[in-house]
Amino acid sequence: MSGAGDEPFIAAVKPLVDAMGGEMIPPDEAGPDDVVLSWEGTDAVAVRLPQLADSLDHILAAMERRKGMPLADLDRKAKQEVVRILEARGAFSVRHGVETVASALGVSRFTVYNYLNREKGT
């Protein structure tokens, strides 16, 4: 990407970029929507952020890894917890977010809405 002195910095931010589904690119290839990270006064790397819908897929995949099983195999209480976490992270503001989450959980859109409404009632 940039100079050899930047290597530890780039290695340090890579897990974060990977976890959020971003892409690391040379800073001189950065577009207006990319985030350029500087290290010791020099542009070290640019990060191309994913589209929101792609982020939701990444979040769902990370939750599956954390739970150690497909989200559809979780019990009802665990699925409600997943919906709570996803709501806090803005998953349902993404176009087709409810449908995407419902599909990952193996439930209907109606069930996801019920989980969301149950949270608002408590």
Report the alpha-carbon distance of residue 87 to residue 93 in Å, rounded: 8
What are the structure tokens assigned to 112, written together? Answer: 């996801």
What are the structure tokens assigned to 122, written together? Answer: 């408590």
pLDDT in tens, 17-54: 887 778 999 999 999 889 999 999 999 999 998 776 67
* 41 shares its domain with 64: no
pLDDT in tens, 54-72: 778 888 988 999 999 999 9
What is the pLDDT, as a whole number, of residue 95?
A: 81
What is the DSSP code (8-state) at residue 4?
Answer: G
What is the pLDDT, as a whole number, of residue 1?
A: 47
* 78 shares its domain with 26: no
pLDDT in tens, 85-120: 999 888 888 888 999 999 999 999 999 999 998 866
* 57 shares its domain with 37: no
* 59 shares its domain with 95: yes
Number of domains in the chain: 2
* 44 shares its domain with 57: no
